[in-house]
């Protein structure tokens, strides 16, 4: 990949399966309705039986252009999301990114889906949100809970939708390669890329020919085709990480487009194959952890690399963060979930 000093990054929406053994007491229902044109209201309700606190980054209430709902055309094909995917830390989370709801409590969010997807074709568009949000206790992610919305069908006026301002205005030219303005950050990123290349390559070997039990633990299957796809995506990420001058992504050592916010480690924008690190990446997580299921710079970088469709198409989404959520995903979602790859690589590297 190219490294540079500026970039765009985004998080995608999620779709998850209800895991076995799910505690029925934790659950959010989302009711989607149309405000006007492509402007949508979401009412999020705690339909469980317990008070709950969760991270709302990449979820309803996040003010950045994150993926809150998936959009489908009448033929069920998904409409591309053109916003940002953010990856956040798992402990020491600050209050501003947390939402607490008592049983029966609700909150609302409004957003315009035409600002993060090209809806100029118009016609019937189905909106749906499903996934898992991280549950927090004492500022630390301790698990996850499912959320699910109604399926809302809206009739989109294409010309009108195309007049909605795109959220991502600062698209960088793919050819622009700038150097990192900080020697310390450049050095940390270079090390992280080397480490990411190493652990991704090792994880690719494990996906191809490692023990069934670990692969099953993370990907929910031992199907040979799935193992092949996982290995191929990890090899592509390793190849991308092994060069700072060639590749399909632009990797910025700093928050070039200002999508970082408190608690966010890094971001990616799939439409431009751009990745950027936030300051927290350098201060909050180690280069390479020796703790199973923990975050570090190498696996954060690997997480982001798997998002980029230029590295391996399709780019992954964010269906769940952290070991608990990852272990609860369906095989289909696990295969396309960024954190599943970084946690699998961590497990292979540390022999968890
Ligand atoms: Zn992500």
The torsion of the CA quartet 130, 143, 261, 36, rounded to 10 degrees, works out to 20
Q: What is the pLDDT of residue 1?
A: 66
Question: Of 313 and 19, which is predicted with more confidence?
Answer: 313
Q: How confident is the model over 205-226, as pLDDT tens digits?
A: 999 999 999 999 999 999 999 9
Other CB atoms closer than 10 Å to residue 213's CB: what's the count?
A: 8
Q: Is the pLDDT of residue 26 over 70?
A: yes
Distance 16 CA to ligand 1 centre (A): 15
Ligand 1 centroid to Cα of residue 80, in Å, is 16
Q: Is 36 helix (H, G, I), strand (E, B) or coil?
A: strand
Kindly give, in sequence order, each residue whose CB lies less than 8 Å from that of residue 125, ignoring residues fewer than 6 positions away: 71, 72, 73, 79, 113, 119, 153, 154, 155, 156
Question: Nearest 5°: phi and psi at 220?
Answer: 70, 15
Question: pLDDT tens for residues 235-266?
Answer: 999 999 998 878 889 999 999 888 999 999 99
Token pair belonging to 139: 């500022």
**Which pLDDT value is given to residue 13?**
43
Q: What is the Å distance from ligand 1's center to 339 Cα? A: 7
Beta bridge partners of 114: none
pLDDT band with cut points at 50, 70 and 90 for residue 73: very high
Kindly indicate the confidence band of residue 174, based on its pLDDT and cuts at 50, 70 and 90: very low
| pLDDT in the model for residue 152 | 97
Backbone phi, psi, residue 168, to 5°: -95, 90
CA of 159 to the centre of ligand 1 (A): 32
CB-CB contact of 113 with 71 (8 Å): yes
pLDDT at 3: 64
324 has a pLDDT exceeding 80: yes
pLDDT of residue 4 exceeding 60: no
> What are the structure tokens assigned to 258, written together?
């200002």
* pLDDT of res. 85: 93
Say how many Å lie between the CA of residue 300 and the centre of ligand 1.
9
* Contact of 91 with 41, CB cutoff 8 Å: no
Mean pLDDT of 339-352: 98
Q: What is the C-alpha to C-alpha distance for residues 257 and 170, in angstroms, rounded to an integer? A: 7
Go through 168-202 and write b for each residue having 16 or more CB atoms within 10 A of its CB, e for each that does not.
beeebeeeeebebeeeebbebbeebbbbbbbbbbb
| Average pLDDT estimate for 17-21 | 44
Q: What are phi and psi of 331, to 5 degrees?
A: -55, -40
Which of 82, 85, 240, 304 is catalytic? The answer is 304
Q: What is the mean pLDDT of residues 160-165?
A: 90
- Residue 344 near residue 157 (C-beta atoms within 8 A): no
Structural domains in the chain plus CATH codes: 28-171 (2.60.40.2970), 183-350 (3.40.390.10)
Q: Which of 83-87, 137-141, 145-149, 297-301 has the highest mean pLDDT?
A: 297-301
- Mean pLDDT across 71-99: 93
Q: Is the pLDDT of residue 20 over 50?
A: no
The per-residue pLDDT for 2 is 67
Mean predicted confidence (pLDDT) in 112-121 = 94
Confidence of residue 178 (pLDDT cuts 50, 70, 90): low
184 vs 157, 189, 204, 253, CA distance in Å? 49, 9, 30, 10
Instruction: Point out the least confidently predicted range of 50-59, 160-169, 314-323.
Output: 160-169
Decide if pLDDT at 9 tops 50: no
Confidence at residue 298, expressed as pLDDT on a 0 to 100 scale: 98
Mean pLDDT for the chain overall: 90
Instruction: Output the CA 43–ligand 1 centroid distance in Å.
Output: 24
Q: Which residue has the higher pLDDT, 166 or 177?
A: 166
Note the pLDDT of residue 24. 60
| 272 dihedral zone (left: phi>0; alpha: psi -120 to 50; beta) | alpha
**Residue 178: active-site member:** no
For the annotated binding site for Zn(2+), the residues are: 303, 307, 318
């Amino acid at each position: 990949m190219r490294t540079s000093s500026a970039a765009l990054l985004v998080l995608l929406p999620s779709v998850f399966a209800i895991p076995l053994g799910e505690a029925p007491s934790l659950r959010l229902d989302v009711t989607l309705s149309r405000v006007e044109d492509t402007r949508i209201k979401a009412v999020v309700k705690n339909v469980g039986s317990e008070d709950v606190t969760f991270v709302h980054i990449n979820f309803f209430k996040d003010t950045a252009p994150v993926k809150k709902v998936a959009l489908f055309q009448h033929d069920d094909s998904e409409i591309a999301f053109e916003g940002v995917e953010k990856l956040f830390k798992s402990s020491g989370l600050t209050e501003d990114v947390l939402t607490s709801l008592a049983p029966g409590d609700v909150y609302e969010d409004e957003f315009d889906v035409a600002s993060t997807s090209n809806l100029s074709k118009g016609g019937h568009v189905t909106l749906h949100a499903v996934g898992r949000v991280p549950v927090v206790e004492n500022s630390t992610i301790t698990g996850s809970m499912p959320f699910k919305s109604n399926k809302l069908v809206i009739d989109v006026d294409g010309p009108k939708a195309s007049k909605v301002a795109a959220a991502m205005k600062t698209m960088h030219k793919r050819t622009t390669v700038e150097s990192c303005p900080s020697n310390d950050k450049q050095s940390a990123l270079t090390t992280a890329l080397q480490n990411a290349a190493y652990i991704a390559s090792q994880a690719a070997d494990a996906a191809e020919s490692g023990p069934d039990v670990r692969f099953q633990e993370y990907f929910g299957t031992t199907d040979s085709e799935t193992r092949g796809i996982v290995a191929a995506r990890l090899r592509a990420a390793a190849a991308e990480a092994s060069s700072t001058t060639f590749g399909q992504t632009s990797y910025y050592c700093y928050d070039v487009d200002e999508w970082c916010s408190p608690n966010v480690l890094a971001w990616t924008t799939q439409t431009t194959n751009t990745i950027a690190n936030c300051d927290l990446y350098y201060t909050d997580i180690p280069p390479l952890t020796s703790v199973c299921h923990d975050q570090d710079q190498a696996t954060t970088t690997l997480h982001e690399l798997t998002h980029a469709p230029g590295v391996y198409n399709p780019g992954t989404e964010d269906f769940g963060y952290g070991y608990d959520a990852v272990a609860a995903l369906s095989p289909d979602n696990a295969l396309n979930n960024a954190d599943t790859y970084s946690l699998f690589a961590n497990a292979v590297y540390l022999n968890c």
